[in-house]
Amino acid sequence: MNKEQFFKNKNILITGGLGFIGSNLAIGLVNAGANVTLLDAMISGHGGNLYNIEPIKKDVAVNFSDIRDENSMNYLVRGKDYIFHLAGQNDHVLSLTDPFPDIDINIKGSAVLLEACKKFNKDVRLIYTGTRGEYGSTVTLPVKEDASINPKGIYELSSLTAQKLFKIYNDNHKVKSVTLRLTNIYGERAQMQHHRFGVANWFVRMAIDNQTIKVFGDGSILRDFLYVQDTVDAILKSACCESAYGEVFNIGVDKPASFLELTKIIIELTNSGNWEFAPFSPERAAQEPGDFYSDITKARKILGWEPKTDLRTGVGLTIDFYRKFKKYYW
Ligand SMILES: NC(=O)c1ccc[n+]([C@@H]2O[C@H](COP(=O)([O-])OP(=O)(O)OC[C@H]3O[C@@H](n4cnc5c(N)ncnc54)[C@H](O)[C@@H]3O)[C@@H](O)[C@H]2O)c1
């Protein structure tokens, strides 16, 4: 059965459903015939944007509430077949000066969701999107799921803690879940207001605005930038795969690019903007883990997933989207 047939008439909840990845996932699920409810607290500075669901706004239920609200969660989890947990505090820079939103939203919020499922919907399947930042600085590239785990910041630590909570509920309470460690995701429907997270998208905005992109250091640091539609495909494939539950998967690209290569592609495709080298700010330097790219053998083997969009194609699609819909994102 393909994933379009799989999700037909399934009841779905997406936390953080008005954000970047959540809204792209919602569009995929509506197109597959699912009954989709989106929950979002529209936290300022994050990616929540009503325009993100413009193509499906008549086909989804939207609930503006917070994952930390036990009453809301106890109600919303009932009757759902799958819950995709994408609500999170993901501002790495903020987490250096104020650790409490990460602790509160990413750890407590995940615990509230898990308790609600344990009490009111034990048979649901949960999909959690963690971050490659959980690994911290890497010793061997590409990075496998069993590499050492040394998160460098509170955001990354809170994501890892949430992942461990999901695993404990999976093993001890039989509330089934799968965790994906996402790499740097870029593409349409991400916030474009600030550069505190979502670096590739921010570079796209700078180029469209004919500004100078600041490339930190010598631009040689490697990352595996992954296009959002490939990410959605991985999330859906993991939900469909019964043997994925209880497991952790890297979701990235095993052909990395440097920040300088990314910048040059963006400038070439927008045909505007410039770039220059700039020193790392102290906050960025403190959190920079160095080169990273994912070993995705496990996702290939078990999920049957493979990223399909090369960087040049994905960046081109991203530029086209924001050129068209700039007024909803700037
Ligand atoms: N985008 C990436 O590159 C990336 C990489 C690794 C992991 N992730 C993780 O994936 C998830 C989704 O990321 P995204 O890029 O779509 O971010 P996003 O900011 O675009 O979306 C997150 C959404 O969650 C909502 N939210 C935040 N706190 C909430 C709360 N307490 N209650 C209800 N809603 C709340 C926000 O309003 C926002 O709409 C996050 O957990 C993030 O840490 C993202």
Q: What atom of ligand 1 comes closest to residue 184's alpha carbon? A: 3
DSSP E strand boundaries for the chain: 11-15, 35-39, 60-63, 82-85, 125-131, 176-182, 184-186, 212-216, 222-223, 225-227, 248-251, 257-258, 274-278
Domain chopping of the chain, boundaries: 3-189+225-253+294-308
Q: Tell which wins on pLDDT, 137 or 211.
A: 211
Query: Does residue 328 surpass a pLDDT of 80?
Result: yes
pLDDT of residue 284: 76
Question: Stretch 121-135: mean pLDDT, rounded?
Answer: 97
* Substitution candidate for ligand 1 out of 20, 24, 68, 69 with most atoms within 8 A of CB: 20
Question: Stretch 104-131: mean pLDDT, rounded?
Answer: 98
Cβ atoms of 35 and 13 within 8 Å: the answer is no
Q: What atom of ligand 1 comes closest to residue 105's alpha carbon? A: 31
Q: Is the CB of 47 under 6 A from ligand 1?
A: yes
How large a percentage of the chain has pLDDT more than 90?
Answer: 91
Q: Is the CB of 101 under 6 A from ligand 1?
A: no
Query: Does residue 4 surpass a pLDDT of 90?
Result: no
For 184, 241, 264, the CA distances from 85, given in Å and listed in that order, are 18, 17, 34
Question: Stretch 72-83: mean pLDDT, rounded?
Answer: 98
* CA gap 178, 166 in Å, rounded: 8
Q: Is the CB of 117 under 6 A from ligand 1?
A: no
Question: Stretch 122-135: mean pLDDT, rounded?
Answer: 97
Q: Is the CB of 162 under 6 A from ligand 1?
A: no
Question: Stretch 258-277: mean pLDDT, rounded?
Answer: 98
* CA gap 214, 319 in Å, rounded: 18
pLDDT of residue 1: 63
Question: Measured in angstroms, how far is the CA atom of residue 86 from the centroid of ligand 1?
Answer: 5
- What tokens does 61 get? 């239920």
Question: Stretch 93-98: mean pLDDT, rounded?
Answer: 86
Q: What atom of ligand 1 comes closest to residue 155's alpha carbon? A: 43
Q: Is the CB of 68 under 6 A from ligand 1?
A: yes
Q: Is the CB of 73 under 6 A from ligand 1?
A: no
pLDDT of residue 288: 80
Q: Is the CB of 156 under 6 A from ligand 1?
A: no
* CA gap 275, 213 in Å, rounded: 4
Cβ atoms of 314 and 227 within 8 Å: the answer is yes
Mean pLDDT of all residues belonging to the chain: 96
Question: Stretch 28-51: mean pLDDT, rounded?
Answer: 97
Q: What is the DSSP annotation of 14-79?
A: EETTTSHHHHHHHHHHHHTT-EEEEE----TTSS--GGGGGGGTTTEEEE---TT-HHHHHHHTTT
Class in CATH terms, 3-189+225-253+294-308: alpha beta
pLDDT in tens, 296-307: 999 999 999 999
Q: What atom of ligand 1 comes closest to residue 65's alpha carbon? A: 33
SS3 284: helix
* Substitution candidate for ligand 1 out of 86, 107, 262, 294 with most atoms within 8 A of CB: 86
**Which residue type does 31 have?**
N
pLDDT in tens, 154-208: 999 999 999 999 999 999 999 999 999 999 999 999 999 999 999 999 999 999 9
pLDDT of residue 11: 98
Q: Is the CB of 53 under 6 A from ligand 1?
A: no
* Substitution candidate for ligand 1 out of 38, 43, 63, 186 with most atoms within 8 A of CB: 43
Cβ atoms of 233 and 299 within 8 Å: the answer is no
pLDDT band at 285 (very low <50, low <70, confident <90, very high): confident
Q: Is 308 exposed, middle or buried (0-12, 13-18, 19+ CB in 10 A)?
A: exposed
DSSP E strand boundaries for 100-218: 125-131, 176-182, 184-186, 212-216
Query: Does residue 214 surpass a pLDDT of 90?
Result: yes
pLDDT of residue 66: 98
Q: Is the CB of 20 under 6 A from ligand 1?
A: yes
* CA gap 237, 157 in Å, rounded: 26
* CA gap 16, 38 in Å, rounded: 7
